[in-house]
Amino acid sequence: MKKRNKTALALLCVVCVSVAGWAAFSFTNPYPTGGTAGTFVDTGRVLNILESNLVHVDSGGDGFVDKGTPVLLTGGKGIIGVAETSATAATSRGTVNTEGIYTLSITPDNGTLDFGELILIHTSPGAITNTTTSAIPFGYSLSETAVTSGTTLVIPIKLARDADDE
**What amino acid is encoded at 77 in this protein?**
K
Residue range 80-109, pLDDT digits in tens: 999 999 999 999 989 999 999 999 999 998
**Average pLDDT, stretch 19-42?**
62
**Average pLDDT, stretch 8-25?**
33
The answer to whether residues 130 and 146 touch, using CB atoms and an 8 Å cutoff, is no
Give the pLDDT of residue 77: 67
Give the pLDDT of residue 125: 84
Given pLDDT bands bounded at 50, 70 and 90, which one contains residue 158? Answer: very high
**Which of 25-28's residues contact partners 24+ apart within 8 Å by CB, and which partners?**
26/93, 27/93
Q: Compute the distance between CA of residue 81 and CA of residue 70 in angstroms, rounded to an integer.
A: 6
Give the pLDDT of residue 29: 67
On whether the pTM is more than 0.85, the answer is no
Give the pLDDT of residue 20: 33
Given pLDDT bands bounded at 50, 70 and 90, which one contains residue 28? Answer: low
On the CB side of 69, CA atoms within 13 Å amount to: 25
Residues 6+ apart with CB under 8 A from 60: 66, 86
Residue range 58-75, pLDDT digits in tens: 878 899 999 999 999 886
Mean pLDDT comparison of 32-36, 42-46, 139-143, 162-166, highest-scoring range: 139-143
Give the pLDDT of residue 7: 38
Give the pLDDT of residue 12: 34
Residue 18 to residues 39, 117, 154, Cα–Cα distance (Å): 13, 39, 37
